[in-house]
Amino acid sequence: MPRYRLTVAYDGTNFHGWQKQCASEGPAQESLRTVQGVLEQAIVDVVRERVSVQGASRTDAGVHAIGQVAAFNCQMEMAPDRLAPAINSRLPDDAQVRSASIIHEGFSPITDAIAKGYRYRIAHGRKGPPPAGLPPLFSRHTTFWTPYRLDPVRMNEAARHLVGEHDFTSFTRKNHGRESPIRTIFDCTVTATGRQRCRLEVCGDGFLHNMVRIIVGTLVEVGRGRIDPDALGDILAAADRTAAGPTLPPQGLCLMWVQYENVAEAARPA
């Protein structure tokens, strides 16, 4: 049975996250609008059989993706260069399949991933007492705004303390449900991208629930001058959620890519 790998992009604004879920329990269950749900339905419409789509990252409501990776099995064989357009023709305009390929039968988007990269976009206020400036209008669904002026240099200095293998208990919600809070961050940088704009880019071997949004929330506090850049080491060592900054809203966050090692594609059908 062929196994297909998809690279999926979506605007998460009007989705209740990646994973399928119901709004209520009982016989009159109502399904919430999720990326997995609309993608599965589009694939079913193409291949005419029930499929189960597995995604690499269970992004939260409002979080976007450019490089989400998904996979599914089905009996039907279709050339990947035909499959992606066929699925896209049945998807809503806030989701799309960027590419499709045939992958080996045992491929798992979750357990085979060796690294993931996220980006968080921020707009911030001018010099002076807040509110200084206006929040972004046309990028409001993809950018977080704070009325406080931020110092990206201080934020970047603080971000370097997060690189390496650490216990990230301070940077995830309580009862996060993972066996271990130990994660490795390969790189974490904050860069000014224009007047009153900056972005965080972080990659690691995996992320706990809300981990990136709490990291950025803590770095915003650094950028405002409320936390010293060198305090990040102490916040990590505390292993206490209350030691870190707030959880920022989802709209600034985007899953950029997922990396795999030694994952060979299967032969494509003619």
Distance in angstroms (rounded) separating the CA atoms of residues 38 and 231: 43
Helix boundaries (H) for 13-116: 35-47, 80-88
Cα–Cα distance measured from residue 24 to residue 217, given in angstroms and rounded to the nearest whole number: 31
Inter-residue contact 172 to 211 (CB < 8 Å) = yes
- Asked if 94 is an active-site residue, the reply is no
Look-up of token digits 């000014």: 192
The active-site residue, picked from 60, 151, 167, 205, is 60
Question: Residue 79 is encoded by which pair of tokens?
Answer: 């050339």
User: Rounded CA gap, 193 and 38, in Å?
Assistant: 34
Burial class (CB in 10 A: 0-12, 13-18, 19+), 126: middle
| Coil/strand/helix, residue 166 | strand
Provide the strand spans (E) within the chain.
3-10, 54-55, 64-73, 95-103, 113-124, 144-146, 164-167, 182-194, 197-204, 253-260
Could you list the active site residues?
A: 60
